[in-house]
Amino acid sequence: MRKYRLGCSLAIALCGGLLAGCEYQETAQYVVQVAGSSTVSPVSSAVAEEADKVLGIKATVETTGTGPGMERLSRKECDISGASRPIKEKELEKCRQNGFEPIEFEICIDGLTVAVHPENTWCNCLTIEQLKKLWEFNSSVQKWSDLDPSWPNEDIKLFGPDHDSGTFDYFIEAVIGDVPEEQSPCRTDYTQSVNDTTLVDGVKGSKYSLGYFGFAYYLLNQQDLKALGIAKSADGSDCVVPTRETIGAGDYVPLSRPLFIYVNKESLLTKPEVAKFVDYYLNAGQSEVGEVGYIELPSERIDKARETLKQTLAERRN
Partner 1 sequence: MNTANQAYQKQLRRRHAASSLFSAICLLAIWFALFMLALLLVGISLKMTGIWDPTGSGSGAGSRNWLTYTFLTEHMSRKPEQSGMIAGIWGSLWLMFMTGLFSIPLGIGAAVYLEEYAKNNAFTRFIRLNISNLAGVPSIVFGILGLTVFARMFGMFPDLPPRGIPLGIGVLKISIPFGKSLLTGSLTLTLMILPIIIIASQEALRSVPQSLRHAALALGATKWQTIWLQVLPASLPGIMTGIILALSRVIGETAPLIVIGAATYIRYNPGQMERVSDYLLKPQTLLDVPSSQFTAMPLQIFEWVSHQPNPDFKNVAAAAIVVLLLVLLIMNGLAVYIRHHFSKRLDW
Applying CB under 8 A, the residues found at the interface with partner 1 are: 17-26, 28, 31, 35, 38, 41-42, 44-46, 48-49, 52, 58-63, 72, 75, 77, 195-198, 200, 214, 216-217, 219-221, 223, 288, 291-293
Identify whether the C-beta of residue 240 lies closer than 8 Å to the C-beta of residue 229: yes
User: 236 or 293: whose CB is closer to partner 1?
Assistant: 293
**Strands of the sheet with 191-193, listed across from one edge:** 191-193, 157-161, 209-213, 113-116, 226-227
User: 63 or 130: whose CB is closer to partner 1?
Assistant: 63
Q: How far is the CB of 168 from partner 1 (least distance, A)?
A: 16
The DSSP letter of residue 236 is: -
Q: How far is the CB of 20 from partner 1 (least distance, A)?
A: 8
Neighbours of 101 (CB within 10 A): 14
User: 10 or 220: whose CB is closer to partner 1?
Assistant: 220
Distance CA 215, CA 260 (A): 15
User: Residue 188 forms beta bridges with which residues?
Assistant: none
User: 46 or 92: whose CB is closer to partner 1?
Assistant: 46
Identify whether the C-beta of residue 85 lies closer than 8 Å to the C-beta of residue 169: yes
Q: How far is the CB of 106 from partner 1 (least distance, A)?
A: 20
User: 220 or 249: whose CB is closer to partner 1?
Assistant: 220
Q: How far is the CB of 16 from partner 1 (least distance, A)?
A: 12
3-state class of 159 per DSSP? strand
Distance CA 100, CA 206 (A): 48
Q: How far is the CB of 215 from partner 1 (least distance, A)?
A: 9
